[in-house]
Amino acid sequence: MNIAPVDLSIIIGYFVILFIIGYFVKRKIHGLNDYFLAGRRLTLPIFVATLVSTWYGGLLGVGEMSFSYGFVNWIVNGFFWYLVYLFFAFFLAKKIRKSNLYTIPDQLERFYDNRSRFLGAIFNFIMVSPAPYILSLGIIFNFLFGVELWITILLVAFVMVFYTIRGGFVGVVYTDVIQFVLMMIGVAMILPIAIYTYGGFDFLQSALSNPELSLGYIDTTRHLTLTGTQTTQWIIIWGFIAFWTLADPGFYQRCYAAKDDKIPKKGILLSIGFWILFDICTTFTGIYAVAASQAGLLEVESALTSYLSIAGALLPPALLGLFLTGLIATVMSTADSFTFLGAMNISHDLYKKVFRKNATDAQVIKMTKIGILISVAFAVVLSLFFDSVVDMWYYIGTIGISAMIVPILFGFFYKGKKSPLAAILSMSMGSLTALFWVTHGFLNAEYGWPVYIGGIEPLYPGLLVSLLVFVFVNIIHVRRMK
């Protein structure tokens, strides 16, 4: 892609702003509460901006899915998630804020015991790995400048480490507000221009009706249907992955950091409106990219870079720079938040609560900075191993959800006596079952695709085992505890 000087200037200006924020925001940190939760002072507009921007970092993955499968992307990455957001807003948000805690493992310790916190912190660390977003950013810069992917991944990691270490959650919030504005402007501009350039719905129907796509591996004839080319089981499994929200530390952190217990519910409901608009734009942008490619009007290297290809073809200088900056900001907002959340798992949930309970605030902050380095290093390793953002979401989500969802939901909603052993075994056996299913699938892969036992996706047995183990052990152990 040819980048004009004005486009490059806009992108560089964005990163300069990030460095400035990272350098100066440290002055607003006066203790651990500021460093972890911005002093629990998030107002409604700030809450919405940081939640919306943080929760939408997988833009290249969304493009990959929209390009490959069509409108079903809106179902699996939109509709299912809205339902879970509503559940979170009405039944969890206020409870979380009133608890006045810091992390999900804090909740697990309150529900069960310190051992549950320890195990939950490990799974939380895996679930908030910024690896999918570091990979996305690496791919963006590799595509734009032709630099080796491993080099762009390392450069992105360095930038995130710098301003996240200095600013803590305050720095994350400040940058999220800027990134919220950029992502809305950047992503919203491409769809109207695509419609103006290529045509409306008639163009999509005509271009996608030919079963022979130039890329050779995508059947576009069902791109405008609700299910696309996917099976019902595949669609349902992504519906279960939407339950990730209920165990997502980013949601919990924003609720903990809100100024009062009314803001989280209102903020999530407002955020859903932004996400709906955003999802419509991103889904149809991906569909326009595949339709234009089908019609011979656009050259696309891969589904993963389809957004970059259509932007480069349609946008003039300056607008292209603004779009690219919005795209980068969308991914960065999630990457920095997840990096910081992983570091909190290390410093707060493990270091302070398990290994050094008398640690001072200064020592915990220092360990958080070390945790940022560990979180980013782990993410870089994963980024170099995987080549698909969607695959990373799927496997991290499958194992993490199999471990975390059942103990969390029982903790919040089951009023009877709860066994710590039930929580520990539920997390362990659920995740191990899912991991075994995934491993078996890859060991028996055909044509590069995993073949699972009975054709059943790993999340189903993982969740089922987690639920059965919790219920059975809880009944037996509670009786023995009396």
Cβ contact 407:415 at 8 Å: no
Tokens for 473, please give them.
């052990």
Report the pLDDT value the prediction gives residue 256, as an integer from 0 to 100: 94
Confidence of residue 17 (pLDDT cuts 50, 70, 90): confident
Report the pLDDT value the prediction gives residue 213, as an integer from 0 to 100: 53
* % of residues, the chain, pLDDT over 90: 47
pLDDT at 396 over 60: yes
Task: Give bridge partners of residue 446 from the DSSP assignment.
Answer: 449
pLDDT at 139 over 90: no
pLDDT digits 0-9 by tens, 234-252: 898 888 888 889 988 889 9
Report the pLDDT value the prediction gives residue 105, as an integer from 0 to 100: 94
What is the rounded average pLDDT of the residues 276-286?
91
Report the pLDDT value the prediction gives residue 460, as an integer from 0 to 100: 92
- Supply the pTM of this predicted model: 0.88
Cβ contact 71:224 at 8 Å: yes
pLDDT at 378 over 90: yes
pLDDT digits 0-9 by tens, 295-313: 889 988 888 888 889 999 9
Report the pLDDT value the prediction gives residue 408, as an integer from 0 to 100: 95
Structural domains for the chain: 5-388 (1.20.1730.10), 414-482 (no CATH)
Report the pLDDT value the prediction gives residue 391, as an integer from 0 to 100: 80
d(CA 295, CA 285): 15
pLDDT at 21 over 90: no
pLDDT digits 0-9 by tens, 209-235: 876 554 556 778 888 888 877 888 889
What is the rounded average pLDDT of the residues 435-464?
88
What is the rounded average pLDDT of the residues 154-163?
84
Taking phi over 0 as left and psi of -120 to 50 as alpha, with beta for the rest, 447 belongs to: left
d(CA 179, CA 332): 8
pLDDT digits 0-9 by tens, 61-119: 788 889 988 899 999 989 999 999 999 999 999 999 999 999 999 999 999 999 999 99
Report CA-CA distances (Å) from 355 to 137, 203, 367: 35, 62, 12
